[in-house]
Amino acid sequence: MSDAGIIKEVARSTADAPDVRCSAGGTLSDFERVLRDAKRSGNTLTASPLEHIKRARQILDRGNLSELLYAALELRFALERITQLELIFADDASKKMLDDYSASKKVLHLRRLAPESEFPHDIEMRHAATGEWSKIGEYRPIDQRRVAGAYGRLGDLLHAKDALALGMPETPWYRETYEFLAETCDFLRQAYEDNDQFYAYQGLDHIRMVRRD
């Protein structure tokens, strides 16, 4: 083999070999490269429902039908986080309630703890100097029936189905699933953005909830 051939063979073997050297030795491992890029971009997991919704929307906007189920996963996480946030602020929420992963059950737990949480409320703050109350936010109840329907369908999408013609994008399943996921993105964003949790200000004398009929 010529010198040029030897050089090419060594280069090929080195490129194909797994990187097992420690970063201290100079070469980053695959995960260390991922971690470095994540720190630079800020692209990592957070507890924010909006981050899950944003990623689901990006998946849908890319238009790759093979990724629809990943959008469903992101929206399921978003729904669980939104409903969990409602219970976290409730002093009377039991550990069992908080540990229950079902989004629809979490809404029912909230309704049992606070029947008033079924209705929209204005959130008002009393000004120390004047004693007057002014609106600082609002609480909009999430629709429990819609939560139950969306959560059930999102979960169903994450189970393998044998009867679907998955390789045929013209089948109704693709359109129906895409439209459902897009509608769920909008539903969850509207339910979370600019909306406070029912128990967020409990125990504060200078803040009150005023029910809107």
My answer on whether 133 and 70 are in the same domain is: yes
The verdict on 93 and 138 lying in the same domain is yes
Same structural domain, 27 and 129: no
Predicted pLDDT of residue 78: 97
Could you give the number of structural domains in the chain? 2
Query: Same structural domain for residues 26 and 74?
Result: no
pLDDT of residue 20: 40
Q: Say yes or no to pLDDT of 1 above 70.
A: no
Q: pLDDT grade, residue 24 (50/70/90)?
A: low
pTM of the model: 0.81
Amino acid 13: pLDDT: 44
State the chain's mean pLDDT as an integer. Answer: 88
- 89-99 pLDDT, tens digit per residue, is 999 999 999 99
Question: Which range of residues forms the domain containing residue 197?
Answer: 47-211
Do 22 and 82 belong to one domain?
no
pLDDT of 47 above 70:
yes
Considering the domain architecture, whether residues 9 and 77 belong to the same structural domain is answered as no
53 and 80: one domain? Answer: yes
pLDDT of residue 10: 37
- Whether 185 and 56 have beta carbons less than 8 Å apart is answered as yes
- Which of 124, 100, 120 lies closest to 198 in space, CA to CA? 120
What totals of helices (H) and strands (E) does the chain contain, helices first?
8, 3
> Are residues 32 and 96 located together in one domain of the fold?
no
Q: Are residues 65 and 26 in the same domain?
A: no
**Which contiguous run of DSSP H or E holds residue 123?**
strand 121-126
CA distances from 1 to 9, 12, 17, 153 (A): 10, 15, 21, 62
Mean pLDDT of 177-186: 97
Q: Tell me: do 29 and 54 sit in the same domain.
A: no
Pairing of strands 121-126, 133-139: antiparallel
Residues 133 and 151 in one domain: yes
> Based on the domain organization, do 118 and 170 belong to the same domain?
yes
